[in-house]
Amino acid sequence: MEKIITKVEIEEILEKYQIGKKPLSLVLGWGEVTIIRYLEGQVPDQFHSKILMEIKNNYLEFARYLEKNKDLITPLAYKKAISKIMELKLEEDNSLIYLISKHIIAKMEDTTPLALQKILYYIEGFSLALLDENILSSHPEAWVHGPVYPEIYNRFSYYSYHVIDAYEFANYRDLEGLDEEKRQLIDAIIKCFGCYSGKILEEMTHLTRPWQKAREGLNDTDISNIKILENDMQTFFKEICCEYKISSVKDISKYSKKMFQRVVK
């Protein structure tokens, strides 16, 4: 006979996927008080226990149920659960862009999803120009509100335009997987661009040729998932470095200050 899931293990599921008791019951296709009864002491039957153990041990199995029954829960509950699934996937993949995103949030402590996306864009651009490599190992798409890295968007989208809760990353400063030159570039970008709001950064990125080129032929409000080409970014940011005499990360502020002046005048 298979082991019956315990109350503590069910509580771990709720925490793992940041989902409430009633929403979890509905996602699994059960009555909305099923999980509540189990937490109050009723012993799950073999059928329900097996499903709970499966989703506890495999986030992809939980994701399958979530997509199947997402219309049974609120949009916010769905977004929060999807965010946790994306977090688990990114951690499983040991995603460098997620590692850097956590560092940005911890370093700034006042980051919106919009601002995070634009800072990542400048990290990619200047790493291509100054280091001849994309240290994010990912590429943005040309969305309406500027460049967007979809995997990071999915992780933090439920915050909408609100500040990301930095509490979970409060002690996160670990970029040991990167050499000192790359860490210095990342922190320089945070310093030079992190002082501006997400909307200001959005307007700045709208002035960059790679984003403009990827959206050629589209109206301002047209939805698009066209990739911004790495070659276009490298060429553009190398030109920027030449124009503003940027030979090291210490010089990047020349460009960020000039762009700020352009978008606010």
Instruction: State the pLDDT at residue 171.
Output: 63
Q: Please indicate, yes or no, whether residues 138 and 190 belong to a single structural domain of this protein.
A: yes
pLDDT in tens, 92-112: 777 889 889 989 998 887 899
Q: Please indicate, yes or no, whether residues 201 and 168 belong to a single structural domain of this protein.
A: yes
Q: Please indicate, yes or no, whether residues 168 and 87 belong to a single structural domain of this protein.
A: no
Q: Is residue 50 part of a domain?
A: yes
Q: Is residue 115 part of a domain?
A: yes
Q: Is residue 70 part of a domain?
A: yes
Neighbours of 168 (CB within 10 A): 12
Instruction: State the pLDDT at residue 135.
Output: 93
CA dist 185 and 84 (Å) reads 29
Q: Is residue 35 part of a domain?
A: yes
Q: Is residue 2 part of a domain?
A: no
Least confident piece of the model among 132-141, 158-167, 196-205: 158-167
Out of 92, 115, 144, a domain closes at 92
Instruction: State the pLDDT at residue 1.
Output: 53
Q: Please indicate, yes or no, whether residues 105 and 85 belong to a single structural domain of this protein.
A: no
Q: Please indicate, yes or no, whether residues 11 and 113 belong to a single structural domain of this protein.
A: no
Ramachandran quadrant class, 77 (left: phi over 0; alpha: psi -120 to 50; beta: rest) = alpha
CA dist 14 and 71 (Å) reads 19
User: Is residue 39 over pLDDT 80?
Assistant: yes
CA dist 190 and 249 (Å) reads 11
- The residues, any chain, with a CB within 8 Å of residue 50's CB and separated by 6 or more, are 2
User: Is residue 160 over pLDDT 90?
Assistant: no
Q: Please indicate, yes or no, whether residues 56 and 148 belong to a single structural domain of this protein.
A: no
Q: Please indicate, yes or no, whether residues 108 and 174 belong to a single structural domain of this protein.
A: yes
Q: Please indicate, yes or no, whether residues 79 and 109 belong to a single structural domain of this protein.
A: no
Query: Rounded mean pLDDT of 210-221?
Result: 96
Q: Please indicate, yes or no, whether residues 250 and 149 belong to a single structural domain of this protein.
A: yes
Q: Is residue 237 part of a domain?
A: yes
Q: Is residue 1 part of a domain?
A: no
Instruction: State the pLDDT at residue 173.
Output: 60
Angle between helices 113-130 and 230-243 (to 10 degrees): 80
Q: Please indicate, yes or no, whether residues 184 and 245 belong to a single structural domain of this protein.
A: yes
Ramachandran quadrant class, 58 (left: phi over 0; alpha: psi -120 to 50; beta: rest) = beta
pLDDT in tens, 56-81: 988 989 999 999 999 999 999 999 99
Out of 66, 92, 118, a domain closes at 92
CA dist 73 and 56 (Å) reads 19
- Count how many residues are written for the chain: 265
Report residue 194 CA to chain centroid gap.
Answer: 16
Pair 222, 144: CB distance under 8 Å = yes
Instruction: State the pLDDT at residue 165.
Output: 85
- The residues, any chain, with a CB within 8 Å of residue 225's CB and separated by 6 or more, are 141, 143, 150
User: Is residue 256 over pLDDT 90?
Assistant: yes
Structure tokens at 60: 């992809």
Q: Which structural domain range is residue 33 located in?
A: 7-92
Total structural domains within the chain: 2
Q: Please indicate, yes or no, whether residues 136 and 18 belong to a single structural domain of this protein.
A: no
Amino acid found at 251? D
Least confident piece of the model among 77-81, 176-180, 231-235, 256-260: 176-180
Q: Is residue 210 part of a domain?
A: yes
Q: Please indicate, yes or no, whether residues 122 and 230 belong to a single structural domain of this protein.
A: yes
Q: Indicate the pairing of strand 146-148 with strand 141-143.
A: antiparallel
Ramachandran quadrant class, 226 (left: phi over 0; alpha: psi -120 to 50; beta: rest) = beta
Out of 92, 116, 137, a domain closes at 92
Query: Rounded mean pLDDT of 103-130?
Result: 95
Spatial CA neighbour of 168 closest among 59, 87, 61: 87
Instruction: State the pLDDT at residue 63.
Output: 94
Q: Predicted confidence band at 122 (pLDDT cuts at 50, 70, 90)?
A: very high
